[in-house]
A and B are shown apart, each in its own frame.
Chain A
């Protein structure tokens, strides 16, 4: 029987009012690659951040090498021998491989850096891992896969026995993935334990020994890879009871006109020949996992990022959209997933934000017409029930739900007919969520708006959408009518590598 390296039991974590982890469990053996899977927001990252000392757990035990340990800081995790390889690599691109590996513990000769010894020691470490990299090479001259190996070598230089890898294969080509896998097997044979987080279910049988599934912050189950199918993993990932009634059939009349027709839109590295249509009064859901290219698609459509190729038709007319102001002219509004980063100027007032899209309309004789701005802001505060003490309140002092409503107001005041909601309820509490849902329904049913909704929240997709497009790695992998959709189907399409 294999010996247990790490056991996390009964882990609890609360974020202001949200029970993020409820009885989470994970057990990893020496010499094992253990896959950790779950939807976005299932709690994988939170659990790993607790293991790494970034978050403090609110309950439960961590047993590492047979002893109960408290991990309060990443430094403690490091000294225990727990190494974390983040999805975004934490290397300093202009420094050499050796400098990166020994950052914070540079070999010294007196008060001076001993570069020679650093290079020799780094070289030895890399050789022992069968990595062929020149320790004196600057990191930014290496391929992404090689950089990842440097990061792993860096983690191992702290004598790490447990490595956490967050989506290590996401940015790699097929050849590079094989290189990485070879390397991981090598580590495994030396007795290291590896927690392997991935959305790519297809690659798990090749690399993982066991798998643990999480959902909604809870432990769902573990199994040996050879005893479980992809289908079974998917049903564990999504097999929740849906409390809110999902839509059973589309509420859009069959003869509703197409308001937006996107054909073979290609942009950046993550939008590949995306085609879809949106009809009047429809809520079109976009499903997919993190990095599926949904936000990138919408940003390209909105003119926020440059488009390489593809055609866009609004109300049957071909349009050219080169900047957000072009998109807005054609009645398209984009409500970003990152409200504070892209949606709002939080240091400004409710009023200033509300008319930011449409200040031309509220200008008279070159002067801004504050009286009418006040009126229209009050009108929309009423209309969509924004809770704010005054129109002059700074947006940063409002709750997430109310901030989101201000973003909505902003686009309604501009009179946009096509609204793109990107993760409309992320970071919003339950009550505010249902208000946003009500608002979206009202917009489509009473005001004839058409909505594209990107969401990673499965119940939300099923409750709100009339039709669902599924994306994976920059491509549309499926289109599902709400009357025939199942969570399993969506997840299968969302993890389908093409």
Chain B
């Protein structure tokens, strides 16, 4: 028995999935480089990165929630609603763009708090609580904006710096066209990784997901931490809202639902378990990029959006099947002890 435990320790089952996801990413990239039309280019790479920002921010936030064993279905509409509210302040009230962005973040964080209170203190199942706030959010955004489309500054206007800072540098600037959004996403990923891996907040996220009752009996104030985790997720949806606005300029009321599923798909492809306790942000980022490589790659082969949806579905199912198989295999090894 001693021996089996020793052997097990040498290969932690954790890294394997990330490795698999990463190799899927590489294989896809190579595949499309060979078979796609003009896939291997700076422009395509920029497109891949551009397609990842807002999904990436949502996916980072919801990774924390999913590690606790929960779910947040309100990501997509929180993104849109917060961007709408910020846009309304900018368009209708004449706020400065900076103040409007702060309002965007605050709105999204408020939705996070709402979710956190419902899940942690009112003990609603996360699925139901966040389904409710998804609908509330979507309606709220439309009501506040009187169902009018909100516009963020675009290139050539007075506030064009907004686009240069959050989306793409000025093509006429010394560095040329550079996807700054990617740097922001990288920064968010690094900060979130420190939070998840090197703070109490992160440890408790895993502890709650692994065994919430054991965590409570260890003196951890599980309700408070859980509420904070949902709040963080809301905050990241707000960031996603800013980057969505920077990329697409117009925000239309009554949209956004469905985006959360893309974020969740990215998390799942990255090996975070829906049953909680296991997961990583590196995996999540890989998962998000697998989806955008797929999107751009299929486009380069002349296949349109519905093909992308189709194949993303296959990848999600495949990733989870593979994970189940891996866990079953690991348990088979353990049996004799």
Interface residues of chain A, those whose CB is within 8 Å of chain B, are 302, 304, 323-325, 327-329, 334, 336, 341-348, 352, 356-357, 359-360, 363, 366-368, 370, 387-390, 392-394, 397-399, 410, 414
Residue contact A399 to B1, C-beta cutoff 8 Å:
yes
B-side contacts of A360, CB under 8 Å: 200
Given A336-B214, A341-B213, 8 more contacts at CB 8 Å? A324-B218, A342-B213, A343-B217, A348-B207, A348-B277, A356-B215, A392-B9, A393-B9
A-side contacts of B5, CB under 8 Å: 388-389, 393, 397-398
Residue contact B199 to A366, C-beta cutoff 8 Å:
yes
Question: How far does the alpha carbon of A126 sit from the alpha carbon of B334 in the complex, in Å?
Answer: 49
B-side contacts of A327, CB under 8 Å: 219
Q: Identify which of B1, B199, B203 contacts A352 (C-beta below 8 A).
A: B203
Question: How far does the alpha carbon of A304 sit from the alpha carbon of B203 in the complex, in Å?
Answer: 21
Please give the distance in Å from B41's CB to the nearest CB on chain A: 41
A-side contacts of B337, CB under 8 Å: 397, 399
Question: How far does the alpha carbon of A302 sit from the alpha carbon of B210 in the complex, in Å?
Answer: 22
A-side contacts of B177, CB under 8 Å: none
Residue contact A392 to B200, C-beta cutoff 8 Å:
no
User: Can you name the residue of chain A whose Cβ is closest to the Cβ of B221?
Assistant: A325
Residue contact B210 to A348, C-beta cutoff 8 Å:
yes
A-side contacts of B150, CB under 8 Å: none
Residue contact A347 to B218, C-beta cutoff 8 Å:
no
Q: Identify which of B2, B194, B214 contacts A367 (C-beta below 8 A).
A: B194
Q: A347-B278, A392-B12 are in contact. Are A356 and B207 (CB under 8 A)?
A: yes
Please give the distance in Å from B12's CB to the nearest CB on chain A: 7
Mind listing 7 A-B residue pairs with CB under 8 Å?
Answer: A345-B211, A345-B214, A356-B207, A363-B199, A368-B198, A370-B198, A389-B6
Q: A328-B219, A345-B207, A352-B206 are in contact. Are A363 and B200 (CB under 8 A)?
A: yes
B-side contacts of A348, CB under 8 Å: 206-207, 210, 277
Residue contact A357 to B219, C-beta cutoff 8 Å:
yes
Chain B interface main SS type: helix
Residue contact B211 to A344, C-beta cutoff 8 Å:
yes
Q: A390-B9, A393-B9, A399-B1 are in contact. Are A345 and B215 (CB under 8 A)?
A: yes
Report, as a range, how many residues of chain B touch the other chain.
20 to 34
B-side contacts of A356, CB under 8 Å: 203, 207, 214-215, 218, 220
Most buried by A among B9, B218, B334: B218
A-side contacts of B214, CB under 8 Å: 336, 341-345, 356
A-side contacts of B219, CB under 8 Å: 324-325, 327-329, 357, 414
B326 beta carbon closer than 8 Å to chain A: no
Question: How far does the alpha carbon of A284 sit from the alpha carbon of B277 in the complex, in Å?
Answer: 36
Please give the distance in Å from B334's CB to the nearest CB on chain A: 7
B-side contacts of A342, CB under 8 Å: 211, 213-214, 217
Question: How far does the alpha carbon of A348 sit from the alpha carbon of B206 in the complex, in Å?
Answer: 8
Q: Identify which of B2, B200, B211, B218 contacts A346 (C-beta below 8 A).
A: B211
Question: How far does the alpha carbon of A325 sit from the alpha carbon of B194 in the complex, in Å?
Answer: 26
A-side contacts of B200, CB under 8 Å: 359-360, 363, 368
B8 beta carbon closer than 8 Å to chain A: yes
B123 beta carbon closer than 8 Å to chain A: no
| 5 smallest beta-carbon distances between A and B, as pairs | A345-B210, A328-B219, A389-B9, A325-B219, A345-B211
Please give the distance in Å from B328's CB to the nearest CB on chain A: 15
Question: How far does the alpha carbon of A345 sit from the alpha carbon of B213 in the complex, in Å?
Answer: 9
A-side contacts of B213, CB under 8 Å: 341-342
Please give the distance in Å from B68's CB to the nearest CB on chain A: 12
Please give the distance in Å from B323's CB to the nearest CB on chain A: 14
Residue contact A387 to B210, C-beta cutoff 8 Å:
no
B-side contacts of A323, CB under 8 Å: 216, 221
Please give the distance in Å from B205's CB to the nearest CB on chain A: 11
Question: How far does the alpha carbon of A357 sit from the alpha carbon of B9 in the complex, in Å?
Answer: 24
Question: How far does the alpha carbon of A410 sit from the alpha carbon of B215 in the complex, in Å?
Answer: 12
User: Can you name the residue of chain B whose Cβ is closest to the Cβ of A339?
Assistant: B214
Question: How far does the alpha carbon of A346 sit from the alpha carbon of B213 in the complex, in Å?
Answer: 12
B-side contacts of A398, CB under 8 Å: 5
Q: Identify which of B199, B207, B221, B334 contacts A368 (C-beta below 8 A).
A: B199
0 or 1 for each of B183-210: is its CB under 8 Å from A? (1 = yes): 0000000000010001110111011001
User: Can you name the residue of chain B whose Cβ is closest to the Cβ of A304?
Assistant: B217
User: Can you name the residue of chain B whose Cβ is closest to the Cβ of A395?
Assistant: B210
Question: How far does the alpha carbon of A120 sit from the alpha carbon of B200 in the complex, in Å?
Answer: 62
A-side contacts of B204, CB under 8 Å: 359
A-side contacts of B215, CB under 8 Å: 345, 356
User: Can you name the residue of chain B whose Cβ is closest to the Cβ of A345?
Assistant: B210
Question: How far does the alpha carbon of A84 sit from the alpha carbon of B220 in the complex, in Å?
Answer: 42
Question: How far does the alpha carbon of A398 sit from the alpha carbon of B211 in the complex, in Å?
Answer: 17
Q: A345-B210, A346-B210, A410-B218 are in contact. Are A359 and B203 (CB under 8 A)?
A: yes
Please give the distance in Å from B331's CB to the nearest CB on chain A: 10
Residue contact B207 to A367, C-beta cutoff 8 Å:
no
